[in-house]
Structure 1
Amino acid sequence: MATHIHGRDSSADRPRPDDVAADQSAADGPRQLTRPSWTYVARRSVREFIRDECPDMAAALTYYSVLSLFPALVALASLPALIGQDSQRTTDQLVGIVQDIAPSLVTSDLEGPINQLTNAPGAGSALIIGLLVALWSASGYIGGFGRAMNRIYDVDEGRPFWKLRPQQLALTLLTMLLVLAAAVLLVVSGPVARAIGDAIGVGDTAVTVWNIAKWPALVLIVVVIVAMLYWGTPNVRRPRFRWVSAGAFIAIVVWALGSAAFGLYVANFGSYDRTYGSLAGVVIFLLWLWLTNLALLFGAEFDAETERARELLAGVRAEEAIQLPPRDTRKIEKDSEKHATLVRRGLRLRQSGGDDTSLPEKRP
């Protein structure tokens, strides 16, 4: 079956029956890449990053990030109310975290929707429904990232809606909880650690341990988030799950260095205040999100090209397309049938001179 992906006909690039054994051999485990292989991976990663228009996809993901931000915050703030905890206290703490991390955001607009949801009459069912709606809205980023990953791997989305959407919602919830944990690690400061240390009798030691331990913990959270995004979103079956792949490592390092360099530039050389006035903080935040998504997409490209290099070393014809099996093909087949129907109707319309009912529909 021919599938057209991003303007490219990939039918000739898909595995043939005599390639199945070689494909399985390539998927059984990673091969030791040679120095020329790594050079090939690096060069092709840059080329595919440009060819797949990753800067544009990163801009789209930035839009989805902002669109998902408020629903995600509402969902997170609503979780304690489900188990009878003080929702107002949670709301205040969450808004405080956002204010500390991104003071340019209008945090006063967060409290209204959260309080309205958690304090509504009949809070039980209304809260659950509102939480599900917020989670559904927040999953837009995961869906967008999955489409970007499919483009990187040159594969169409084949999972039907009833299978894909629950996966996206589960991944969204896990990502939200991890992002919240990372935000808490960034915001919780020495005085809080000291208070906890005094309560258990260790005092200054708690502050020292916290200042050291929070950074490895933050890195661990970022590693888990990137690993979940790279493994769970595309419609391809990866040979195995990796907590830290080469692409994930590159993405995290590039993101960290890029964020530091961008912060240094904004603090010392940027003129956003003069250009954007009161919107400067929002613009800076959007640019940082764009750089973050650029790093994630480049890391994904690097992982894809690493997989291609392994397949090539295994003798698989992967020069044009990476030969990873899709997770599902039902949606692809259904979309192909719909497209074929439209093509037949177009042919009938052309042959009939505009009166397509005069010709019977012919099926192949």
Structure 2
Amino acid sequence: MAAGRRSMQAFKILRRAVARFNNKNAWVLSSHIAMSMMMALFPFVLFTVALSGAIASLFSHRVVVGDVVDLVFGSWPPSVAEPITREVYAVLETSGTGLMTLGGVFALYFASNGVDAIRVSLLRAYGQDETRPFWKHRLISLGLVVMGGAGLLLAAVFELFLPLGARFVARFFPDLDFLRGWENGTNGLVVAVVPVAAVFLYHLVLLPRRASLLHIMPGAVFTLLLWWGAGAGFALYVSSFASYSATYAGLAGAMAALIFLYLNAAILILGAEINGVLQTDRYADKR
């Protein structure tokens, strides 16, 4: 009986969140986020590769770049990620990796536009007004891009050296069975952590009035679960039913990626709207 009441309550919250989503024209905002993220995707990868140039004397540049690209697109369905990664590598073949260049500055700025589009969607979902000056919330967006690039680079280095370290230690302690599980890296664990970290950072950092971790948890968990389900479903759709190549010819890969980002943006906003509903209920209870 109690489980049934909780299920009914969760359904009512979801229905209210969907109503808020539709009333705020969130589908339009989702397309704005998707286009902004699509435009920011290549600059972000280029910026991250530029960061790898700073440690080129310590690590193999090609290995690090390959690992970074895998981490960026590792959570995407393979049928969607493969055409985009091919273009990424094509761009990297003809691009420099200098960090302190005019191109690097523009890459950083355009990549931050995608984060700023998410900030706007979260403001509307939580019913907040932007009270910070332009320079401040733009610096926050830029900071998240830098943090994301540095985090992916560190994760790539970690993935590179974890197996080497495990094999080295195993030489001296061959009876430690748990070391054998790390000889091939984390086997996708880092890839799974990247979207989790991104969702929580968006909710915690981008809003002027920050909610507690407990209050953002429902929408964040909903977003991550639905992202996983939507990714699996979209991969099945693209590989089995869709015929983007017949409709968009050479743009098929880009269009599939854009639609995938559009779907994920809508899920992100819907998760924020769930938190918005719960926030409204908390304010009503206090009165």
Q: 1:152 to 1:75 in 2, by over 3 A?
A: same
Residue-pair matches, total: 269
- More moved, 74-83 vs 36-45: 36-45
- C-alpha contact (below 8 Å) 1:64/1:141 kept by paired residues: yes
Q: Say whether 1:313 aligns with 2:285.
A: yes
Q: 1:222 to 1:243 in 2, by over 3 A?
A: farther
Residue 145 of structure 2: which of 172, 190, 215 is its match? 172
Separation (CA, whole Å) in 1 of partners of 2:61 and 2:231 = 33
TM-score when normalising by structure 1 = 0.62
Paired residues for 1:89-168 under 5 Å: 89=62, 93=66, 97=70, 102-105=81-84, 106-111=87-92, 114-115=95-96, 117-118=97-98, 127=100, 130-168=103-141
Residue 251 of structure 1: which of 199, 220, 223 is its match? 223
Q: Secondary structure at the match of 1:265?
A: helix
Q: 1:243 to 1:311 in 2, by over 3 A?
A: closer
Q: 1:281 to 1:83 in 2, by over 3 A?
A: closer
- Structure 2 portions without partners, runs of 5+: none
Separation (CA, whole Å) in 2 of partners of 1:148 and 1:103 = 29
- Residue type matched to 1:161 in 2? F
Q: Say whether 1:283 aligns with 2:255.
A: yes
- Structure 1 portions without partners, runs of 5+: 1-33, 119-125, 316-364
TM-score when normalising by structure 2 = 0.77
Q: Secondary structure at the match of 2:82?
A: coil
Identity in percent: 24
Cα shift at 1:93: 2.9
Number of the residue aligned with 2:24: 52
Cα shift at 1:81: 2.9
Q: 1:108 to 1:217 in 2, by over 3 A?
A: closer
Deviations 1:198-256 (A, max 9, x none): 55547997674577954554433322210110121123332x23496010000000110
- C-alpha contact (below 8 Å) 2:125/2:276 kept by paired residues: yes
- C-alpha contact (below 8 Å) 2:64/2:157 kept by paired residues: no
Q: Secondary structure at the match of 2:128?
A: coil
Cα shift at 1:80: 3.0
Number of the residue aligned with 2:276: 304
- C-alpha contact (below 8 Å) 1:224/1:243 kept by paired residues: no
Q: Say whether 1:78 aligns with 2:57.
A: no
Q: 1:267 to 1:205 in 2, by over 3 A?
A: farther
Deviations 1:298-353 (A, max 9, x none): 111111111111222222xxxxxxxxxxxxxxxxxxxxxxxxxxxxxxxxxxxxxx
Separation (CA, whole Å) in 2 of partners of 1:286 and 1:77 = 23
